[in-house]
Structure 1
């Protein structure tokens, strides 16, 4: 399948202003993400942004940028606008949404996100890792994926929650917010209104489940560092040698 990697990156950020352009080892954070997406070698890589500064930064680094509206409420809405602009002919059959605040993500993880599409019933694919730190089990900032095993390295997602679930002995899974969509699935998803559980849990992916869409998750070994605040940025700089 022809694949397009889209990286949503906006300039506004409450906890870490202008974080997409934060310097890490001499490069803006979003450029690190683009480099890792390119290293995954799954297809064309485009940064979708609402800021001319970000577009200029990624293009100066040799990557493609596209301007999108400042009014989008979610990354999925932003990548859908970008998709229509950069691929109006519909050549890309699958779209991977790689968040612009994952500067240390392993290229192999991006490739793994496509694996669930070997089942034609899968609409949206994502990633999860087994939780090893007990603190994460009760941390509401860590989203848990509740799913049924389908094979050794895959889950069929039944629910996503900030609570500790499921109850009883057994593994809990940390959901990694990287998504791959079949093109038609993305088109359908963005056409849907925010759902009841989505608004309650503040988790956009529940909209898909509440509307009967299927999400499968590949189980991976590591959770990439998401840069949400100054402490995360300091850690990213340490990892990348800044």
Structure 2
């Protein structure tokens, strides 16, 4: 089973333009992410997929691998174009603005497919338990609910489940945007039309659910620093 990692990266971002080219220590955010993924030793190949010449030149200029793609609505669509002609079985999507992803969660995602002997799982991803009321109600945190076997039932920016029966304790989970795809499922995803729920929520993995594909969710206690704002960048610099 050939496993590769792809880091989708675009230069523009609505909340923090050019965030991937900001510096962390002596490297940019995108180069830090690339190096950290490469150093896990889990992948036969690691590269950045981007529509930005600035990011492309940054990675290649620092000895890394990158491919140019067209413009896309989602990171998954960008990755699908990038891996179209690459021989691989499993594609791990690591967000370019998550520079501190650890080894263990990536290993957990890979193990999902090693144990999926009937090849029923299209996609695996991560979730982390939420405790703070403000974090639970924050629409920037995508929440996920699963069945008894850990398969995603739905993702939402709203609070799910709704805690009507207050005598019963409810657990809330945030979806962490690190994905592991079967290549053929990823290619299929990119050919499918967006449906109303994905459009309404602006959550790309809902497309898989709307077309009846299985998403396995793995609980993790990993807390990284996703860089969405200048304040997040300062937190990351403190970690460095």
What is the TM-score with the length of structure 2 in the denominator? 0.92
Runs (5+) with no aligned partner, structure 2: 164-168
Superposed counterparts of 1:1-242, under 5 Å:
1-43=1-43, 44-69=45-70, 71-84=71-84, 87=86, 91-117=87-113, 118-119=115-116, 120-150=119-149, 155-168=150-163, 169-240=169-240
What CA distance in whole angstroms lies between the structure 2 residues aligned with 1:194 and 1:156? 21
Q: What value does the CA root-mean-square deviation take over the aligned residues? A: 1.4
Equivalent residues, number: 231
SS in 1 for 2:151: strand
Query: Which region of structure 1 is more displaced relative to structure 2, 185-194 or 35-44?
Result: 35-44
What do residues 184-213 of structure 1 show as CA deviations (whole Å, max 9, x unaligned)?
Answer: 100111111111111111111111101000
SS of the aligned residue for 2:92 comes to: strand
Instruction: Judge conservation of contact 1:10–1:51 (CA < 8 Å) in 2.
Output: yes
Find the residue that maps to 1:114 and give its secondary structure. helix
What is the CA-CA distance between 1:136 and the residue it aligns to? 1.3
- Where 1:31 maps in the other structure, the secondary structure is helix
Give, in whole Å, the separation in 1 of the partners of 2:55 and 2:202. Answer: 27
Deviation string, structure 1 residues 146-172 (Cα, Å, up to 9, x no partner): 00232xxxx210000111111342211
Aligned pair in 2 of structure 1 residues 114, 218: CA closer, same or farther (>3 Å)?
A: same
> In the alignment, is the contact (CA less than 8 A) between 1:128 and 1:173 conserved in 2?
yes
How many Å separate the matches in 1 of 2:203 and 2:236? 25
Which runs of structure 1 show a deviation greater than 6 angstroms over 4 or more consecutive aligned residues?
Answer: none
The unaligned stretches of length 5 or more in structure 1 are none
Q: If the length of structure 1 is used for normalisation, what is the TM-score?
A: 0.91
Partner of 2:166: none
Q: In 2, Cα distance between the equivalents of 1:143 and 1:53?
A: 30
Tell me the alpha carbon deviations over residues 46-82 of structure 1, each in whole angstroms, 9 at most, x when there is no partner.
001112221221123221111111x211111111111
